[in-house]
Structure 1
Amino acid sequence: MRVFVTGATGFIGSAIVKELIAAGHTVLGLTRSEEGAKALEAAGAEVHHGTLQDLESLRSGAAACDGVIHTAFIHDFSKFQENCDTDRGVIAALASALEGTNRPLIVTSGTGLGAYAPGEVAVEDNVATSKTTHHPRVASEEAAALAAAKGVNVSIMRLPPSVHDKGDHGFVPMLIGIARDKGSSAYVNEGAGRWPAVHRLDAAHLYRLVLEKGVSGTYHAVGDTGVPTRQIAEVIGKHLNLPVKSVTPEEAATHFGWFSGFFASDVPASAKLTSERTGWQPTHIGLLEDMESNYFES
């Protein structure tokens, strides 16, 4: 298959590109920079110049391929709602290029949308809409649902809060930076909130499986169902030689800033149905082992 990949030079997308090419597929990777173009060419991919704001470029990239994997997202959390609305439009544009075909479109969302109540284990078959959640990322899933209603073969890949591996620049490195800045590694209350996680290479493998099977649905790329946030904080404290402490929700607002509510949340997720439907099984190390091995190298 010739596959159009958005976010092709990103942390997750670059792993997907390598996974697809190793399996014999051809990749057309979206990039907005010459540096990104060079990285794609070095990986053996074709280059498609464009941005998430250039919807016509996105449509042309999708129309030229046998399938689409959409992982690009603007990671500016000060404009999270705006960026989720942008993603809604991007998905609509990609889907419009695939209407009337059975070519697969895989869009990306978050596992938190698979739970209807705090602490509930998120599952694939829970449908996320504006009526079930106030999470801004629901825009992506509503766009996917609208595409499906138009006959597009669309699937949703929900990723957990931590997609980990060397080179991670997401939430765990953010926590490490906060601990360094504050002089302590903190967790909220008892630190019982659970974070699901997946190794980047396991996630990339699942994207490929879903693409190849071409069966629409919602999938969870989850290796660890829920890692207690206290354990995450303890690993950080040990490696930075900093005290590990509990903070109240009120203190967390000062310690973690805008990130406080998210780190305090209890958002476990299951991949049981995903495994049953695709045969996918994560084979790489879990979050805590990865942190111990790869997140504190000098």
Structure 2
Amino acid sequence: MLEERDSHLKLTTSHKKRTVAAPWFLTGLGDPYQLEILPGSKACYDPNNKILHVRDNERGISHTVTPSVRVRLDHEQDFHDIDFIDLEDATQNLAGVYINEGVLSFEDHNRFEFSNTLMFQSVCRLLASPVFNPWTELPRIRNENAFYQCDLATGELWLNPEMEDAPKNVDKVHSHIVYLSFETSEPIPCWNKDTRHDDILPPGRYDAEVIKSDHDTGDVITIKADGWTADRSNLYTFHIPFEPLYELIQSGAVPAGDFGYRVPFDPRGHADMALRATQPPPKGVFGKLFKR
């Protein structure tokens, strides 16, 4: 059993299995998510400050949801995730940080660009709060074989110097392009994911997405697109080197349609909003006035 930290949350202990929902915690379909509370678990539903918090101290599981962030800690499964939520659409996660079996990773949903450093520091600020992390113990970090090295207590983030072909900067430069459409009658060398062999992209119109880019420059390296063979007998997934394709697009040999681009995201505002909402109320006369 983990050692609990003191917090101002007014917790109630459930003696039977039940669920709790909040209008700011929605499923992808827009319905209130039914968060499970097991017997012996503690919960807090604060509609004024918009805080939903459930913790199971015996298993080391907590779930804290505000309109701007969602923090789930699971020491039993050794999996922890922190998601930043779209303030205009509560069904959408913007970006996140995951710690799976002690290994740190960043989730951009192939839509956002952000600073890894700012993302990690924002997560550390959240985990320093007894609301978002109700225990004295932080998630376990295993640095020895991980790509990103970190210390949750100090907020330090660095790259593993032992990794082969390691990038130069801890802050990944995301490719600006997310997807594009193009039409080709030119033979374009590619790799067929299904046959696992080099191939030629058949003539046609394609909707493609970026699957690989340079960590330090953001230059797109590889895109992927689905397409039929010439006799339309098989549908394959093709991995296409981007640079020669882009040269054909620039020369006009391959007409291009829509380009989709990443959206910049700064997690600090979302973390600030969540931490302000979870601060203990002022004490004394001003505190009473504040509650009215």
Give TM-score, length-normalised by structure 2. 0.27
Identify the structure with bigger relative contact order (alpha carbons < 8 Å, sequence gap 6+): 1
Higher-Rg member (1/2)? 2
Structure number with higher strand proportion? 2
